[in-house]
Chain A
């Protein structure tokens, strides 16, 4: 089957009898989605090589560290296995650590995030604690023994295999000495938190609403692409051709973006708009419009904007779509990085989503795609979904993948399917 598909692509490229081959390609395919897929494969694309910069190098200004001993989305067997239930680290008790130092560590954001990112911790809690984890304000009066407190910080999976809390000791964020100090601090926590400001209470903090006028370039710099995208569309490539040479009326592409990304059987991967732009530009204009380049992002925003207001509609019914969704579920639940987070740990409402991680509200994975690419006010850049996924990886201290990695394609497909029916609103603006 693979051989026959490959030969079809080859034949089409070399200009063989297309209609007969199209009939042949469709013969064995049961549904219309498969027919669309066959059509997608006929679009000229340079299928060889990377669609992004090679070799891949992390963006300037990002964390430079690498985490080669922990899982990434491709290397999924690196992270050391979790302890079995009840398999606790034996420590000398009672713990008499330095509570003052423990407090300092718990409140310090610079290493790993600090306990306050997820927990309220008593009356001295600094501003904007999170509520992904339980309120620890009275943990010192809850009757936990020292071994339990120590191990819950060292590696909570010894007690709760489902815990989303990072194994702070087992993954090398804190030394045994430091964890003992934190336990000493926890033991001092015996009174409920008092918040000086209502906004500091994560249970009462208002959920952020994004209501800026994302279509106004005065508000959202990414919206410049409504105009600059037209320029890129008309700009001649290395062979003298521009997008407009073949696509005379850009408006004919209205509605195209809401059906992306798509599975490409020839390349055996999901192709999103940005990767498509890179491969299509290379094939038709002999031009490098690599993923993450300014032109690529500008054009991708522009192409999406042509479908603004139309409902997102990616195939979820075909056999291939179901296979992608299944693979996505594996990726969404794969623990990656030194912090040991899976996507679902922070972005499914059953776990961390719709709660606060420090001052930031964790969105759920559903409903994110319509506003991508997005202007990030905190970064002063337009980011496509692939860069956002890379950022997620680096934030949980996992090695990111190149932007055209098949795994990101699968995740993009899944996230887009989760936004099916929602109207395209590209480009958005967010923190």
Chain B
């Protein structure tokens, strides 16, 4: 159900600082809401996002219930070599949404 989008340049110069934009479809159900029958809707959010480059973590973020649906996170990374970014969003129930993106440095 959850769909992740990544945007980053396909090529970069060695040592360049690039911007990575990420967007993941997620309801980010806060646990504070009630359904039409008045019962609390259980919390289900993405509580953690990480980004690794060639196996080494370059960014992580802890997300809280106040973050809106479809969290959009952008950040900057200095790239020294070609490789693969691996993104992972962890949901409250332990499910992990994954996405990858390539970059060529040269």
Asked if A218 and B69 make an inter-chain contact with CB atoms under 8 angstroms apart, the answer reads no
In the complex, per-residue mask of A217-229: 1 if CB is within 8 Å of any chain B CB, else 0:
1100100100110
Q: Please tell me if A380 contacts chain B, counting CB pairs below 8 Å.
A: yes
B67 at the interface (CB under 8 A from A): no
Beyond A217-B5, A218-B7, A224-B25, 12 additional pairs, beta carbon < 8 A: A217-B23, A218-B5, A218-B21, A218-B23, A218-B72, A221-B70, A224-B3, A227-B3, A228-B3, A228-B25, A380-B68, A380-B69
Residues on A with C-beta less than 8 A from B70 are: 221
In the complex, chain B residues whose CB is within 8 Å of the CB of A227: 3
A-B contact count (CB 8 A): 15
Q: How many residues of B contact A (CB 8 A)?
A: 10
Find residues 49-81 in chain B having any chain A CB closer than 8 Å to their own CB. 68-70, 72
Residues of A within 8 A of B7 (CB): 218
Chain B residue, CB-CB nearest to A221: B70
- Residues of A near B3 (CB, < 8 A) are 224, 227-228
Residues in B neighbouring A218, C-beta threshold 8 A: 5, 7, 21, 23, 72
User: Nearest 8 A-B pairs (CB), nearest first?
Assistant: A218-B23, A218-B21, A217-B5, A221-B70, A218-B7, A217-B23, A224-B25, A227-B3
CB of B3 to closest CB in A, whole Å: 7
* Chain A neighbourhood of B68, CB < 8 A: 380
Which residues of A215-250 are within 8 A (CB) of B? 217-218, 221, 224, 227-228
Contacts of A221 in B (CB 8 A): 70
CA distance A50 to B3 in the complex (A): 32
Cα–Cα distance between A380 and B7 once the two chains are bound (Å): 22
State in angstroms the CA–CA spacing of A380 and B68 once bound together.
10
Residues of chain A lying within 8 A (CB to CB) of residue B5: 217-218
Minimum distance in angstroms from A380 CB to a CB of chain B: 7
Residues of the B chain whose Cβ atoms lie less than 8 Å from the Cβ of A228: 3, 25
- Measured between beta carbons, the chain B residues less than 8 angstroms from A380 are 68-69
Q: How far is the CB of B30 from chain A (nearest CB, A)?
A: 14
Q: Quick one: CB contact mask for A197-231 with B, threshold 8 Å, 1 for yes?
A: 00000000000000000000110010010011000
Give per-residue flags for B1-31: 1 if the beta carbon is below 8 A from chain A beta carbons, else 0.
0010101000000000000010101000000
